[in-house]
Amino acid sequence: MSQFDLTPLNPTFGVEVHGLNLMDVSADHLFPEIRALFEEHSALLFRGQALTDAKHLELAQLFGPIEDRQADERKPGEAFKIPEVSNVLEDGTTSGEMDLKTLNLKTNFLWHSDSTFLPVPALINILVARIVTTEGGATELASTRAAWAEMPEALKDRIRGRGIWHRYSHSRKKISVELSKLPMFNKWPDQHWASVWPNPENGRDALYLASHAYKVDGYSEAESEDLLAELTAFCTQPRYVYSHVWQEGDVLLWDQRAAMHRGTHWPYEQPRKLSSICSSVTEADGLNAIRMPQGAA
């Protein structure tokens, strides 16, 4: 990696990679170096990129299978469409602050890891800035790997070795009961994952949390809520957080196994559009290590 300069995003995790054009990346050219940086630093930033949709998709496929939450809704022959984190409507206007579309965006303001509610969760999210706001609209990352390494043993002991249950509608209900009842948030059964995810490449553990989490093994739901809130508060201290202020052309990607993230508010009359592709974990990424028995929580 001597051909690239690296600048830390945060003292505990993440780097900005200089001098690399993502349009030049292929499976045997540059990607091995990117994957090694991903495993080591958990979050990578590339500025000033002119990443096309096609290359965005190709890059995500190098990390793993493309996550497709609308596969069951797509008509025969209909192509996969890159998801957008956006308040821009089809007619070019923006959604109102209390529209369900905007309320769903607001659920992203809760600290979470993507897709913990799916039968196969996400390994990575690759976000590309297409339209940015003049204020607000940052994306913040919190390293649950750095936080776990420094967490007091007494707090670790309350969660270590336990499973955590995740439900998509749970996070939506925190913002809007009406939103949580939509079919798209109730398509999958609750998922049961280990609370700590060991990285198979370097052996480093990370706490595996999300706003979708609602129950910890061995605790009531009320006790679980308090414990999950305490763990989240510890992991999201400033020491473990990087707040990214977007510029058009930025590409930010991170390890969902080792970091939570959230969006921040912006003036909703201002358009904001980020292209977002998640790649799913595979057995090589440690999926077997976090599988827990399914069934009732």
Question: For each of the chain's 297 residues, which pLDDT tens digit applies?
Answer: 447 899 999 999 999 999 999 999 999 999 999 999 999 999 999 999 999 999 999 999 999 999 999 888 888 888 899 999 888 888 888 876 656 666 777 788 999 999 999 999 999 999 999 999 999 999 999 999 999 999 999 999 999 999 999 999 999 898 889 888 989 899 999 999 999 999 999 999 999 999 999 999 999 999 999 999 999 999 999 999 999 999 999 999 999 999 999 999 989 889 999 999 999 999 999 999 999 999 878
DSSP string covering the chain, please? -TTSEEEESSSSS-EEEES--GGG-BTTBBHHHHHHHHHHHSEEEE-S----HHHHHHHHHHHSPBP-TTTTTSPTTPPP---EEE-B-TTS-B--TTSHHHHHHHHTTS-B-TTTTSSS-EEEEEEEEEE--SS---EEEEEHHHHHHHS-HHHHHHHTT-EEEE-HHHHHHTT-HHHHTSGGGSSS--EEEESEEE-TTT--EEE---TTEEEETTS-HHHHHHHHHHHHHHHTSGGGEEEEPP-TT-EEEEETTTEEEEE----TTS--EEEEEEEE--GGGTHHHHB---S--
Residues 90-149: tens digit of each pLDDT: 888 887 665 666 677 778 899 999 999 999 999 999 999 999 999 999 999 999 999 999
Q: Which domains does the chain have, with CATH numbers?
A: 5-290 (3.60.130.10)
